[in-house]
A and B are shown apart, each in its own frame.
Chain A
Amino acid sequence: MTTTTSQTPATTPVTDAAPPAGTRRQATLQWVAVHIFAVTAGLLFVLPFVFVGLTALMSDQQSLTRDLWPHPFEWHNLVDVWHTPGFGTWWRNTLIYAVTGTILTLLSSIPVAYALACFRFRGRNLAMMVVIATMMLPPQVAIVPLYLVWAKDLHLSGTLWPLIIPMAFGDAFSIFLLRQFMLTVPREYLDAAKVDGCSDLSVLLRVVLPMTRPAIAAVGLFQFFYCWNDYFGPQIYTSENPAAWTLSYGLQSFKSAHHTNWNLTMAATVMVMAPVILLFFFAQKAFIEGVTLTGVKG
């Protein structure tokens, strides 16, 4: 199901060409209702961010009261958070995990997706079913034996390696998305390149890759955020070594491990949310396109 072009791009499902007075009033009422709803919903959606930000700027004691507005504004909280032992380390570890993971995933998933999209061989459908099956597998199903191997046999628990190394073997979701997108590359381009004497590898590099750039960007973004947001993996593999913690695990332990109160915890939350939101503002198009791609092509 691919829809690269639609018949008539609609911006609103209702047309109005000189409607009679009754429907005009109805349309106005509808307009008002829709806008009231939109504004209310928008406020509700943004309120959590506002409250978190305000609490981050409160003093210790005030964060425990029902006050909604900081008195005074403790801007230094945002700096103090960085002095909490480990916060900088968590940032570094999360960046390492996310960046390396994304690169490895792309490098290993693209050839697979290409093979599944453009090669014809027996068992291709079976392979796709396996890809989909692995996509649906909760990580908790496989974790126990994997942990035992990483910890007992390879002695790599307490590091980021058990999280990063598997990403060099392809990621099912990425393969699936990339493959769906690659299917839309018109066969003629591939055949033309083959006729010109290109090997399969150069077809991939010279023809398919340039045409699937949006999908690659989307998959890269998704994988980055998967690593950035991953909690279960770091909890299992890095919890025994605080020097290897990532932001998600560190943040969860923040409140208890360092006996901090809500104001600093909220400040830390701001520090963890802010980069992602900022990234979004600068790369909005890529984000939205990527999400749309998963829906449309998926």
Chain B
Amino acid sequence: MKGAVASGTRPRATPELRARKRRELVRNLAFLSPWLLGTGLFFLYPLVTTVWLSFTHYDGFTSPVWTGVDNWHYVLHEYSFFWPALRNTLWFVVVIVSLRIVVGLVLGMTVISVKRGSSVFRTLFYAPYLAPPVAATLAFVFLLNPGTGPVNSVLGKLGLPQPGWFNDPAWSKPALALLAVWGVGDLMVIFMAALLDVPRELYEAAELDGAGSLRRFRHVTLPTLRPILGFAAITGVIAMMQYYTEPLVAGQVASGQIGGSGQQVEPGYPAGSTLTLPQLVYNLGFQRFDIGAACVVAVVLFVLSMVFAAFLMRRGSVFLGVGE
């Protein structure tokens, strides 16, 4: 982006210049003020407070009491849900992000290849992305019910094994992955736009060189798509670090526990397999009201997110256009 102020020689500080600089400052503040206020109120303040609270014991009634690293010791060593949740979150990040990219790419290429009726297929693959998460999760829990769901019914008729899906600790995460892949429409559309932008000449040149479709894919398509794949990876990781609604709703509904009257609801049914770090913040802070421990998990979540973000951004800063 051209046009940056040359930072070589500083113009003399004449009164007019000072006045203009002051006007610019006012103007900048005016336009940026909502965001500045918002960042201070809803980002900086909570961040600092969360870190501070993680070193206190606070139940929401009496004032917080400084307890040092007690909460940290508890969460990292005694709280039985922490490490399973961490492992699950990482599983989701790795599996779902890669699955969605692969499936999105494959579907995108398929829709492009189907010349006639491609818009019908595009709609079919995109529509599930629009389903609201809670509704989609409820639908999948019902569809994948091991005893009465249509999917196992069909599998049974075909003589195939009928997994326990959301009721089986070994299958609950794959079931959630299925749900996530069902909603891959947005990625598919993005990939389609990028695929269509690959210059035809590159393909023709490769073909002339004798490259088959697989080699054309590897040497023409993939390199050109690298920025968009990186973008999909970054947004995917961000989303999976915040993965909360679908696993929570799936576990609650699949367990069949009413739990409405305030009994401690079993987190991460079945057997803690659908627990994610964000859910722990809710469990500790809003069910146990152990606010200090909840903040410990929140800090861990924050650090992890920032580590991922920094790592991915370093790899992909070229297309984030920060420096422009």
Chain A interface (Cβ < 8 Å from any Cβ of B): 1, 3, 6-15, 34-35, 37-38, 41-42, 45-46, 48-49, 51-52, 55, 63-66, 68, 108-109, 111-112, 114-116, 119-121, 125, 127-148, 152, 166, 168-170, 175, 180, 183, 187, 200, 225, 228-229, 231-232, 235-236, 247-249, 251-253, 255-257, 262, 265-266, 269, 272-273, 276-277, 280, 284, 287-288, 291-292, 294-296, 298
Contacts and interface: CB of A to CB of B under 8 A. Distances in A.
A38 B318 CA distance: 34
B47 A183 contact: no
Contact of B305 (A7, A115, A138, A183): A138
B65 interface: no
Given A41-B107, A296-B194, A108 B35 contact: yes
A228 B194 CA distance: 28
Contacts of A276: 130-132
A146 B131 contact: no
Nearest to A67: B153
A25 to B, nearest CB: 15
Interface stretch (B8-16, B66-74, B281-289): B281-289
Given A51-B150, A272-B134, 9 more contacts: A3-B197, A12-B112, A45-B127, A143-B281, A200-B31, A228-B132, A247-B132, A248-B134, A251-B138
A104 B73 CA distance: 42
Contact of B135 (A13, A125, A273, A294): A273
Contacts of B133: 229, 231, 248
A3 B1 CA distance: 15
A252 B53 CA distance: 31
B249 interface: yes
B122 to A, nearest CB: 8
Given A34-B110, A248-B133, A6 B196 contact: yes
B80 interface: no
Interface in B112-129: 112-115, 120-128
B190 A232 contact: no
Given A132-B313, A200-B27, A252-B249, A48 B140 contact: yes
Contacts of B39: 130, 134
Interface in B78-131: 107, 110-115, 120-128, 130-131
Interface string B23-58: 010011011101101110111011101100100000
Contacts, number: 315
21 contacts: A1-B227, A1-B319, A14-B203, A35-B114, A38-B114, A66-B156, A111-B32, A115-B31, A142-B42, A144-B298, A166-B42, A169-B35, A169-B41, A170-B34, A229-B132, A248-B134, A251-B138, A273-B132, A276-B130, A295-B232, A298-B231
B142 interface: yes
B75 interface: no
Contact of B3 (A55, A133, A187): A187
A9 B196 contact: yes
B176 interface: no
Contact of B126 (A133, A265, A288, A294): A288
Contact of A12 (B113, B126, B227): B113
Interface in B203-221: 203-204, 207, 213, 216, 221
Contacts of A252: 134, 138, 249, 252-253
Contact of B309 (A8, A119, A133, A257): A133
A147 B186 CA distance: 32
